[in-house]
A and B are shown apart, each in its own frame.
Chain A
């Protein structure tokens, strides 16, 4: 059994690549310089700009932009939405990956394709689906109105839209790994008398724990940063249904550029934390797999 990493992105170790290329060091350095300049221009510079603009009014203005009531409510709402949609998609992702990777059943390919749907659908469409379904003139709208249930233009709609756009992250991370690992471990556990649930909890879950965490991280970053789908179902009520990305837009439209960038810097920080945690996991997780504690 080979120690193939989760995604087989680099089929050759770096040494092989170096041996098979004939470029002079100059060309190689030039290519590296191009890549680094590109990264600096298109990734680093905008990021630095966000923080520079945010702090242009001084630290006091920065902090007051983050602590005024509408910003606090946007932060709370964003955390709430992530706190519901990320665990929901974690459970779903685990269940779906387990079903797809470890079992054979009719319609498996349909399920696999459906999981990818949110990646291929524009987020705006994702939002509109819920308006068409739960809006006043939508399929379920009149019934909901009669029973005083608010879904679109309220918190539940925002959660639904976020769940939709972040649905594939965990499952997509787990399926290839689970397929790679095969069912041998589970079969061994079952033959030793473990129940199905015990097998899942003690064998399957520990085998994929790092990939799961990785998927959850990506899922969370998207859940907190989603704009398009949430914008359609939010109704943009200040201090009530504005998430952080929507609040950035509101502030920007009010000529309140310092505050807009201050709130944007929160989202940027989240991205940076995610990136660091992700790199750390990749490194750590790759290592754990290579030492092969279970095989």
Chain B
């Protein structure tokens, strides 16, 4: 039968088509949503650097999505060579549910394996029609706040913690009042997207909401891509030091024979080239001296607190706030 012949022909074609992927050195970088533009540039720079160092060609493949969702995919077997996720808790989850990254991954690279940091700011429509100045404006009646789902998105968890840090200072550490503040804030959230980029498109492209809680780099990028005549950034009185972290998925990389190049890839993020690229894409570099001064000048001054000084540790916050049945689940249940 003709169709059987066709099927066989396609099966043979398929095998031939999939094979060449293994000829070159290929790295898979599993990352979160807003890093697309950064890694597009960085991968090019690293490929050039690696060719000069070793004469070897390296292709870096990218997978982007909500940070929690991406961690889940790596746990389920997505063969990442390196993970560059939004927060350490997601890489902790990978270490906990399997052997892809070692338990002590965070000690393997400088600055707790965070080559760049960011923070959370507000993006509002041009002219700030609702007069949003600070966190307490977000709980006002009738304000629509756009933020992704903390269950699946790393950025969303930083948003949550930044709001909490504000409430903690505003109410002098009264836990009950802080919780109530967060509950009122999430009552103003009409859509919970799964990732930061989804929330940004909801706000800028679909025109929903009065204020977007966004990664600083994501807010800058939205303005750059979609026009400074449409949106502006509002800097709140206090925000959080968001530390996106990176790790070599050692078990995968060793199996793929890419351990050396994977480690060099992440180390290159700390090099002057990597740091300058981070600043260019609106991430705050950990070694600012390598970055262009005009890039650094774009970052506003914000009073920043860290997770460690405010809440203890990510492991603690993850368990009490974002685990099943944790504080966020209760807040979200109270919405209805």
Contacts and interface: CB of A to CB of B under 8 A. Distances in A.
Interface of A: 76, 80, 83-84, 87-88, 90-91, 131, 134-138, 141, 145, 150, 152-153, 155, 235-240, 250, 252-255, 257
A122 to B, nearest CB: 16
B98 A240 contact: no
Interface string B200-226: 010001000000000000000010011
Interface of B: 3-4, 6-7, 10-11, 13-14, 17-18, 21, 28, 33, 36-37, 61-65, 73, 75-79, 97-98, 197-198, 201, 205, 222, 225-226
Contacts of B73: 153, 235
A136 B98 contact: yes
Given A84-B14, A255-B225, A137 B7 contact: no
Contact of B11 (A84, A90, A91, A136): A84
A178 to B, nearest CB: 18
A30 B45 CA distance: 64
Contacts of A137: 75-77, 97-98
18 contacts: A84-B10, A87-B6, A91-B4, A91-B7, A136-B98, A137-B97, A141-B76, A150-B79, A152-B78, A153-B78, A235-B78, A236-B63, A239-B61, A240-B21, A240-B61, A253-B197, A254-B36, A255-B222
Nearest to B65: A236
A83 B198 CA distance: 32
Contacts of A236: 63-65
Nearest to A79: B10
Contacts of A238: 61-64
Given A80-B13, A134-B77, A136-B75, 4 more contacts: A84-B11, A137-B75, A237-B63, A255-B222
A87 B63 contact: no
A194 to B, nearest CB: 17
A39 B17 CA distance: 42
B17 A152 contact: no
Contacts of A131: 76
A56 B21 CA distance: 35
Contacts of B3: 87, 90-91
Nearest to A240: B61
Contacts of B78: 152-153, 235
B63 A235 contact: yes
A253 B33 contact: yes
Contacts of B79: 150, 153
A33 to B, nearest CB: 31
A155 B18 contact: yes
Most buried by B among A88, A91, A254: A254
Nearest to B60: A238
A253 B76 contact: no
B198 A253 contact: yes
A138 B205 CA distance: 38
Contacts of A135: 76-77
A255 B33 CA distance: 13
Listed from nearest, the 5 A-B pairs whose CB atoms lie closest are: A136-B77, A135-B76, A255-B225, A153-B78, A83-B10
A237 B62 contact: yes
Given A137-B97, A235-B63, A238-B61, A145 B10 contact: no
Nearest to A257: B205
Contacts of B28: 237
B71 to A, nearest CB: 13
Contacts of A255: 222, 225-226
A139 B3 CA distance: 33
Contacts of B65: 236
A134 B98 CA distance: 15
A80 B6 CA distance: 12
Contacts of A83: 6, 10, 13-14
A130 to B, nearest CB: 10
B61 A237 contact: yes
A204 to B, nearest CB: 13
Nearest to A241: B63
A71 B41 CA distance: 19
Contacts of A237: 28, 61-63
